[in-house]
């Protein structure tokens, strides 16, 4: 019983926690003996220092993605092999999605495991929430995928893809070619075309690129999302100024531009104007306005300076107390009248028998 107050306090704290609170685990690796093929742990690393991360070929991308933590574990597998699990915690889900689109060496598909996954015969790379996970074996088997599912289940949290990706027109899109960029490092290393990065982009800009193929023509479409329409307009005008100056990187056929609100589309390739119009026609940004009535905007109603909510509670409490007093008084009067009437008209009733009242008389006489 001594631990009951502490348990009650813990339960109260748990009820106050946000429903979206992420469970922080010591690690996300499989449990011991969960897979019979994993014979023993050969090596393990855990670090919050990006410089100490071994085996990741693009450390600059991790820095741009808001690197927070890296954990890896190397297993010896039966009969004579190895399997490596790497779990990277990043700034947010957009960062994990971006790295997967840039580093995934195969076609991306929806999970499980994870929210989005790239699978190879001996490796699995997936993004889930703000985690990027890679499971790599030294030979082709189904073990990497089974282990990846186990790790994904331990992570638990799921996040949708960035909204920018859903703005790509569907006609002619090659879905496996979608790439999502977080900044200049990823743009410089993995952009299909350099046009989008020729003019300096302000902070907090989203960039996505994808390949298109339509009626025998092919090319790339870049979508640049700005925080405000004014920034998008400035970028759009600078692109046109560069074209007016006949800069070699932009003064060429097959380049089409469109702006819609804070969204700028850059289409490049062998598309004829009618084909470009069919693709760019779907690049639209629409505002969704919802009026929310704020009951507090006029201030709470008061009486004598007391808010109506508090005053109403006090009045209801007083009324309820008064009703209890009235009921108690009436009940007492009813019992008293009943006893008097019973004594007068039914003197032999069980409540007024001599053996019950005699003790009272004796005590009164003694006093």
Q: For the segment 255-280, what is each residue's pLDDT rounded down to a tens digit?
A: 888 888 899 888 888 888 888 888 88
Contact 267, 221 (CB under 8 A): yes
pLDDT at residue 12 is higher than 50: no
CA-based torsion, 166, 172, 178, 183: positive or negative: negative
Residue with tokens 């933590």: 69
Longest dimension (CA), the chain: 126
Write down the pLDDT at residue 7: 46
Does pLDDT of 326 surpass 90? Answer: yes
The yes-or-no verdict on residue 191 having pLDDT over 50 is: yes
What is the rounded average pLDDT for all residues in the chain?
A: 80
Q: What is the pLDDT of residue 360?
A: 53
Question: Which of 69-78, 79-88, 192-201, 323-332 is predicted with the least confidence, judged by mean pLDDT?
Answer: 192-201
Q: How far apart, in whole angstroms, are the C-alpha atoms of residue 323 and residue 319? A: 6
Confidence check: pLDDT of 17 > 60: no
| pLDDT score of 194 | 72
Rounded to whole angstroms, how far apart are CA atoms 184 and 207? 10
**What pLDDT does 361 receive?**
52
Which is it for strands 131-137 and 81-89: parallel, antiparallel or unpaired?
Answer: antiparallel
CATH second-level architecture of 26-155? 3-Layer(aba) Sandwich (3.40)
Give the H or E element holding residue 315.
helix 308-345
Between CA 242 and CA 248 the distance in angstroms is 9
pLDDT tens-digit profile of 98-138? Answer: 999 988 877 788 878 889 999 888 999 999 999 999 999 98
Query: pLDDT higher for 100 or 285?
Result: 100
Sorting pLDDT into bands at 50, 70 and 90, what band is 328?
very high
Q: In this predicted structure, what is the pLDDT of residue 126?
A: 93
pLDDT at residue 296, as a whole number: 53
For the chain, the domains span: 26-155, 163-280, 302-366
Model confidence at 236, pLDDT cuts 50, 70, 90, reads confident
Q: What per-residue confidence (pLDDT) applies to 131?
A: 93
């Amino acid at each position: 019983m001594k631990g009951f107050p502490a348990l009650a306090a813990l339960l109260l704290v748990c009820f106050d926690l946000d429903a979206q609170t992420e469970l922080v685990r010591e690690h996300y690796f499989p449990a011991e003996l969960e897979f019979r093929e994993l014979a023993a742990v050969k090596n393990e690393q855990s670090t919050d220092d990006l410089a100490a991360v071994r085996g990741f070929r693009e450390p600059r991308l991790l820095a741009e993605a808001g690197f927070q933590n890296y954990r890896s574990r190397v297993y010896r597998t039966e009969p004579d092999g190895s399997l490596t699990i790497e779990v990277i915690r990043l700034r947010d889900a957009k960062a994990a999605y971006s790295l997967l689109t840039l580093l995934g060496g195969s076609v991306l598909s929806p999970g499980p495991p994870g929210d989005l996954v790239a699978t190879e015969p001996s490796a699995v790379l997936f993004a889930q929430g703000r985690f990027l996970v890679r499971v790599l074996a030294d030979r082709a088997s189904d073990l990497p995928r089974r282990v990846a599912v186990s790790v994904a289940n331990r992570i638990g949290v799921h996040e949708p893809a960035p909204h920018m990706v859903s703005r790509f027109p569907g006609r002619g899109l090659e879905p496996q070619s979608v790439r999502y960029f977080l900044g200049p490092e990823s743009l410089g290393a993995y952009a299909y075309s350099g046009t989008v990065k020729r003019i300096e982009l302000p902070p907090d800009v989203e960039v996505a690129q994808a390949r298109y193929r339509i009626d025998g023509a092919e090319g790339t479409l870049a979508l640049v999302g700005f925080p405000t329409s004014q920034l998008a307009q400035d970028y759009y005008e600078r692109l046109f100024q560069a074209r007016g100056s006949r800069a070699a990187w932009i003064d060429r056929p097959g380049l089409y531009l469109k702006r819609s609100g804070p969204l700028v589309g850059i289409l490049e390739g062998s598309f004829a104007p009618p084909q470009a119009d069919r693709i760019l026609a779907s690049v639209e940004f629409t505002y969704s306005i919802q009026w929310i009535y704020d009951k507090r905007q006029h201030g709470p109603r008061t009486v004598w300076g007391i808010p109506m909510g508090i005053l109403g509670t006090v009045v209801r409490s007083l009324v309820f107390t008064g009703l209890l007093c009235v009921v108690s008084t009436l009940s007492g009067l009813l019992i008293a009248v009943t006893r008097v009437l019973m004594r007068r008209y039914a003197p032999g009733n069980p409540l007024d028998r001599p053996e019950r009242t005699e003790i009272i008389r004796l005590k009164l006489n003694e006093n």
